[in-house]
Amino acid sequence: MDQDSQDKQREFNDEALVHLDTLYNVALRLTGDAADAEDLVQEAVLKAYRAWDRYERGTNCRAWLLTILRNTFINEFRKRSKRPDPVSFETVEELTVFENVQDVDPEGSFFRHIVDDEVRRAIDELPEEFRTAVVLSDVEGLSYAEIAQVMGLPVGTVKSRLFRGRRRLQRRLYEYAVEMGYIRP
């Protein structure tokens, strides 16, 4: 292997592959399946490696990689995704759960009783438009501008999706906590 290839690999490793955990976590929430998530990450990373010369140095590498990952998911993986069709946009209540819990648990202690697997399931049930925004923001800590870049949306749309996605997720977790007896309805 020539020196250029070695340099490219080293640079790609140092700048891009440090984000592998993020790519995998987002891929897992997008596909809902560990094997599909690994395939998606491998495809996306390989595309990124091929396009590495076109990556503008000093810009946001994480957002660049996540954009490739999401586009790969939409173009190649969504058709074979194992997840059920998402609930229609209009049918879910998006009122804040705080109104329900303010007298019995205003600090939201009931969240602490909910196991991680149930939270993952609730995230996975969100429609993709909301799920991606919530995962990028609330699990991976991206800014609104970064999410807008990854999803190819205006920042205003990101805000609205985040708002609605969070409210839906909160409602789903609250309903689960009520079912399990962690909180009085």
Partner 1 sequence: MRLFWKRKGPAGPRPQDIDCGQVMQRLYEYIDGELDDPDLVARIRAHLELCQRCYPHYGFERAFLRFLAEVRDGAPPNLRRRVFQRILEEETRKG
**Residue (of 133, 144, 146, 135) closest to 63 by Cα position:** 146
Exposed, middle or buried by CB within 10 Å (0-12, 13-18, 19+), for 35? exposed
* Of 6 and 179, CB closest to partner 1: 6
Q: Which is nearer to partner 1, 127 or 144 (CB)?
A: 144
User: Do 142 and 114 meet the contact criterion of CB atoms below 8 Å apart?
Assistant: no
DSSP string for 28-47: HHHHSSHHHHHHHHHHHHHH
Instruction: Give the footprint of partner 1 on residues 144-163 (CB under 8 A).
Output: 144, 159, 162-163
Residue 140 makes contact with partner 1 by CB under 8 A:
yes
The full 3-state SS of 61-101, as one line of letters, equals: HHHHHHHHHHHHHHHHHHHHCCCCCCCCCCCCCCCCCHHHH
Task: Report the alpha-carbon angle 37-54-149, nearest 5.
Answer: 60
Total of residues contacting partner 1 (CB under 8 A): 48
**How many CB atoms sit inside 10 A of residue 106's CB?**
9
Q: How far is the CB of 6 from partner 1 (least distance, A)?
A: 9
30, 61, 126, 169: which one binds partner 1 (CB under 8 A): 169
CB of 71 to partner 1, least distance (A): 18
Alpha carbons 29 and 170: distance in angstroms, whole number: 17
23 near partner 1, rule: CB under 8 A = yes
Output 67 or 171, the one with its CB closest to partner 1. 171
Q: What are phi and psi of 127, to 5 degrees?
A: -55, 150
Which residues in 83-102 contact partner 1 (CB under 8 A)?
96-98, 101-102
With CB under 8 A as the contact rule, which of the stretches 53-61, 64-72, 74-82, 140-148 interacts with partner 1?
A: 140-148
Looking only at residues 111 through 130 of this chain, which bind partner 1 when binding is defined by CB under 8 A? 111-112, 116, 119-120, 123
Instruction: Name the site residues for partner 1 (rule: CB under 8 A).
Output: 1, 5, 9, 12, 17, 20-21, 23-25, 28, 34, 38, 41-42, 45-46, 49-50, 96-98, 101-102, 106-109, 111-112, 116, 119-120, 123, 134, 137-141, 143-144, 159, 162-163, 166, 169-170
